Structure 1
Amino acid sequence: MAQHKSAKKRILVNAKKKSRNQAYISGVRTAVKKVRTAVEKGQTADVAGLLQQAQSLLHKAASRGLIHRNTASRKVARLTALVRTKVQA
């Protein structure tokens, strides 16, 4: 257990940031999952909006440092390719 006041504060601040980051990452995962399920169900009307929302969340997470920017770009590219192949086919 931390003894110094600053160390105790650091523990509290880190816990707060961790929970905030986990919540944001969870939102990103949910957005990606929504796109995938909409593609599977063939909901062509909803897919474009959901894809745009997922892209936005992924790039915001990358800019905040929650995920690597290459990871965000890779996920966006794969989602876009999935939407193009399944919806247009």
Structure 2
Amino acid sequence: MANHKSALKRHRQSLKRRARNRVSKTRIKNTVKAVRLALEENDTAKAQEALKEASSVLDRAARKKVIHARQAQRRIARLQAAINKTA
């Protein structure tokens, strides 16, 4: 454990950020899973709605630097390609 005042503050900040990032990453996983489940059911309309929600969540996470912006765009593009493939 850190002893310096500044190091203790950094530790507190990192714990807060970790908690915030975990919430965001879990939300990403759940929304992407919703798109994939809709694709498995061959429900294109439901998948398109789920993709709309997932892209919003991914963009927000990229804006907050939880994930890299290119990773967010890549995930959205791959989900959209999967939807287009089934349609």
TM-score by length of 1: 0.88
- Give structure 1 regions of 4+ aligned residues with deviation exceeding 3 angstroms: none
The structural deviation recorded for 1:6 is 2.5
Q: Name structure 1 gaps, 5 residues minimum.
A: none
Residue identity opposite 1:33 in structure 2: K
The alpha-carbon deviation at position 50 of structure 1 amounts to 0.6
CA distance in 1, matches of 2:66, 2:48: 25
The structural deviation recorded for 1:16 is 1.2
**Is 1:41 aligned with 2:10?**
no
Equivalence for 1:78: 78
- My pick for the range that moved more, 73-82 or 37-46, is 37-46
| Structure-2 residue corresponding to 1:13 | 13
Partner of 1:54: 54
How many angstroms does 1:44 deviate by? 3.0
Matched length: 87
Identity %: 38
Normalised TM-score (structure 2):
0.90
